[in-house]
Copies of this chain bind each other. A is one copy, B any other.
Amino acid sequence: MIHPLMESIATALYIGKNILTEELLNELCAQLKTVMIADTKVADLYGIKISKLLNTQLLTLPSGEKAKTKEIQEEVIDALFKMGAGKDTALIALGGGATTDLVAFVASIYMRGIPLILIPTTLLAMVDGAIGKTAINTSFGKNLIGTIYHPKAVLVSVETLETLPEQEWFNGLAEILKMGLIYDPDICPLVQKNRKDPELIVQAIKGKISIVEQDPLERHLRRILNFGHTIGHGLEGISHYEIPHGQAVAIGSLVEAHLSMSLGYFSEKEFEEIQELYNVFSLHLHNTYHRQHLLKALSYDKKSIDGKIRFVLIDKIGHALPFGGMYCRPVSLDELEPSLVWMEKNYG
């Protein structure tokens, strides 16, 4: 007896300037109670104002990746129980990727899932974090606990970027460039012209949605989003999240492009083009970097099978190799070594 269960899930996506109006928020939250959750920095900048508009309670989180722990997750859950939040309570996550990841994870497990609205306020969260992803970190690595869960709505209000620190622009840019390398060949030329072009946000979000729609359960194509992140997550973990995500992903993308080249898939000419694009970053490994720590961290990567590390690889700018639908390939330590040596020489 086979019993298929069909589920249909719709996420509404709003992008524009100054879209966080009382009208839109009230429409989205009609007949729901709401709790807004923001990190302390974003709460000061926007959270207090928006929570007043909505007449909702505001919970604050410590800011940054270090807040994405099971301890903070439990604190948020306990606070929700104590305020009597039920299945009719929508969580509104306001902030960067750490906030949207953590709040989305809480929404997905609280009473088997409650409504969720994401308002990403960093370029990184807009182009990457906020779409179809929930996660917390563990002592074994980054984003290793999480669910597949779809928010009711994602609101990208670009004026929130006006207060964004320069470093945060680079965090987002690393993900935008990644999308350019794996999926959308139009992105890299746009970055070359103007790396702050708002069109880049739309283009990167479109790419991500297109990939997630084709593979909502992360079984094949969606793996390509992990390009640059095998090395990137490893570098973040061993720095105890002191290296910014954008730095780690930028270095990771270059190393994995180098690996694609050294395995014979990707041309030297295009690798040189890429290196030029990444010149706007000032990249360097964290001062605690050791190759052995990185290799240990890589063995816990979500794509690993039988302890063998697998990498997403590209064969040209804008295209990841399908490898028979697996979209990644095991790489031996011998094969990986030249790319790590290259990284250590250039950024060590």
Contact = CB atoms under 8 A, between A and B. Distances in A.
Interface in A182-198: none
Interface in A101-135: 108-113, 132, 134-135
A14 B4 CA distance: 14
B302 A87 contact: yes
Interface stretch (A138-146, A172-180, A282-290, A313-321): A138-146
A150 interface: yes
Contacts of A12: 1-3
A5 interface: yes
A84 B13 contact: no
B14 A10 contact: no
A53 interface: no
Nearest to A153: B2
A296 to B, nearest CB: 12
A74 B108 CA distance: 18
A134 B302 CA distance: 22
Contacts of A9: 4-7
Contacts of A209: 3
A9 to B, nearest CB: 5
A86 B6 contact: no
Most chain B CB within 10 A, of A78, A147, A216, is at A147
A3 B299 CA distance: 35
A300 B82 CA distance: 9
Ranked nearest first, the 3 interchain pairs of A and B with the lowest CB-CB distance are: A81-B140, A4-B10, A112-B146
Contacts of A144: 81, 110-111
Interface string A13-40: 1110000000000000000010000000
A307 interface: yes
Given A12-B1, A145-B110, A147-B112, A7 B87 contact: no
